[in-house]
Amino acid sequence: MPEETCKRHGSQEEALPSLPAAVSPDAAAAPGRYSFVRSGSGSRQIPPGWGSVPLHIWQSALLSGTAGALGRPAFQDANEWPQRHSVGGLPGWLLRKPNIHLRTSDPDFLAAVDSWFKVLLPKIYPWLYHNGGNIISIQVENEYGSYRACDVSYMRHLAGLFRALLGDRILLFTTDGPEGLKCGSLEGLYTTVDFGPADNMTKVFALQRKYEPHGPLVNSEYYTGWLDYWGHNHSTRSIPAVTKGLKDMLELGASVNMYMFHGGTNFGYWNGADEKGHFLPITTSYDYDAPISEAGDPTLKLFALRNVISQFQEIPLGPLPPPSPKMMLGPLTLHMDGNLLDFLYFLCPQGPIRSILPVTFEAVKQDRGFMLYRTYLTQTVFEPTQLWVPNDGVHDRAYVMVDGVFQGVLERNMKQKLFLTGKVGAKLDILLENMGRLSFGSNHSDFKGLLEPPILGQTVLTQWLIFPLKVDKLVKWWFPLQLLRSSRPQTPSGPTFYSTTFPILDSGGDTFLFLPGWTKGQVWINGFNLGRYWTKRGPQQTLYVPRPLLFTRGAFNQITLLELENVPSNPQIQFLDSPILNNTLHEAYIYSLSADIQSASEPMELSGH
């Protein structure tokens, strides 16, 4: 039995909620091409226990007979859960049709949905309970009532599709927060609710009864913690509050599914974002203050919940698996490889796309990561002149350079002012970062890039060269070949690559990468994209590094950083044996917020995910 399943089983969690990150449409694939995670093979090799459920682990859990499973094979599902790497769980290629209406009965969207489910649901069918498997029910959509469309025809289409492919014997259900039941429920699908320990259980279950007069009370997402946003405090839920809420529900005879039971990680570019007054990208860590941590370790919350469950039924005998071995290493000094602009040919070997006005990521099939926009000044700008993009047209973060010299940052929903000078013919480069698409509630088509042409003073900038960048391929395939690197400037700033190699002499262990003094960027270990760091904004200060990523027994490992802004005077990193997730540097964040935007230290209104 997989170790993570053992930990769940040891808590007598009788249903494994299987979110389909392992079986979601691959955002990097073309329409009609799908990728299923298999450890050790395929294009997305994700070792077990990393916040997703790889296909062979999912099947092993079902075969073990230890738990039922709540299947959640939605084309769109929970927003910011680990590995939500596109449009709230939807593949980014959908937005190549700019007029598509997501999560509606738009024919273009339904065609993509039908194509996907006709591949996925037949793979699930043998595992249904009445076929001898462990899947006891299947969820249709996810919190659809929180979406703006409220398209009953779309929900009916999904229900009919699921019935046609799975038959009439499997229980189909929906889940919504209390405000979403009106549009999220559908006759013929069992209505469930989701809420956390701070919500009024009696009122929420009363609402469920309004839509589902008979059958069990079900909290299909009981929030054991909460997610983190960059620039906000680390979210936690106290053990007494979480255990009391669970006990109260069990005393009612309700069924409860915990979200999250196991924390996870938004590796690479897979995080989502929320919009609560302004754009809020979610951190790389999805530890969630869950009963089992991001690294797969049991926490005090797990044992407390286990004690509550033991009051209502027997729990398995025997100890839980112990925490995984952890490792410390460093500090290690990184060496500069060169500015991002030095590697532009390797980052975009096909050459730039020419356009009078800038175009979006989606228009050039760049689903994630970075794009560079380049133009040349048509006249000399003697006095500092403001560069701005109308209609909040920076999606999401722009790093501006003139003749290779870093000038500053423009950011979505922020009102920074950036002033430039330059001679006629000067090269203006704007590196755009996709920080994760909106993925809950109003998740409209969240296009990325320069959505409007930048304006310098009163001059609209035109005649752009657009470079879709393949940063991951450069790091994975070219850097290990020790390319001839450009001469190194004395005081680097702006997007710059740094790297070093290091051996691990023993068997190693899980570890947490700490980047003191670095600003913001992306980091790779042995070519694997660990995700974003944003040390200057927080709260997350370390990145989880699972042991399977590391070469041990004296073999050398390579770490590569793309620092986007400013490098510390002492460019060092360390590997720690415990995470730092709760250090928000408010002063570094709040200075850039306008007066009408919520402060990072103010409490936020939470909604279900």
Q: For residue 591, what pLDDT band results from cuts at 50, 70 and 90?
A: very low
**Phi, psi (degrees; rounded to nearest 5) at 588:** -75, -15
Q: For residue 479, what pLDDT band results from cuts at 50, 70 and 90?
A: low
Tens digits of residue pLDDT in 186-209: 999 999 999 999 999 999 999 999
User: Are the CB atoms for 394 and 447 separated by under 8 Å?
Assistant: no
At 126, which amino acid appears?
A: P
Edge-to-edge, what's the strand order for the sheet holding 455-456?
A: 418-422, 381-388, 455-456, 459-460
Which is nearest to 550 in space by CA: 520, 511, 586?
A: 511
Tens digits of residue pLDDT in 119-147: 999 999 999 999 999 999 999 999 999 99
**Is 13 noted as a catalytic residue in this protein?**
no
Going from the C-alpha of 87 to that of each of 90, 93, 364, 382, 385, the distances in angstroms are 5, 9, 16, 42, 36
Q: For residue 439, what pLDDT band results from cuts at 50, 70 and 90?
A: confident
CA 385/CA 394 separation, integer angstroms: 18
pLDDT at 152: 97
pLDDT at 595: 31
pLDDT at 273: 93
pTM of the complete model beyond 0.95: no
The answer, yes or no, to whether the previous bond of 510 is cis (omega within 30 of 0) is no
pLDDT at 92: 83
Average pLDDT of the residues in 472-480: 83
Helix spans in 518-598 (H): 586-590
Average pLDDT of the residues in 73-96: 60
**Is 221 noted as a catalytic residue in this protein?**
yes
Going from the C-alpha of 55 to that of each of 41, 62, 113, 120, the distances in angstroms are 11, 11, 20, 12
Of 13, 80, 141, 143, the catalytic one is: 143
CA 548/CA 528 separation, integer angstroms: 11
User: Are the CB atoms for 550 and 542 separated by under 8 Å?
Assistant: no
Of 221, 294, 362, 563, the catalytic one is: 221
Burial class for 605, CB neighbours closer than 10 Å (0-12, 13-18, 19+)? exposed
High-pLDDT (> 90) share of the chain, %: 73
pLDDT at 37: 55
Q: 79 versus 68: which is more confidently predicted?
A: 68
Q: Is the pLDDT confidence value at 518 over 90? A: yes
Tens digits of residue pLDDT in 305-322: 999 999 999 998 888 889
Output the six-digit token pair for 192.
């469930």
Mean pLDDT of the chain: 86
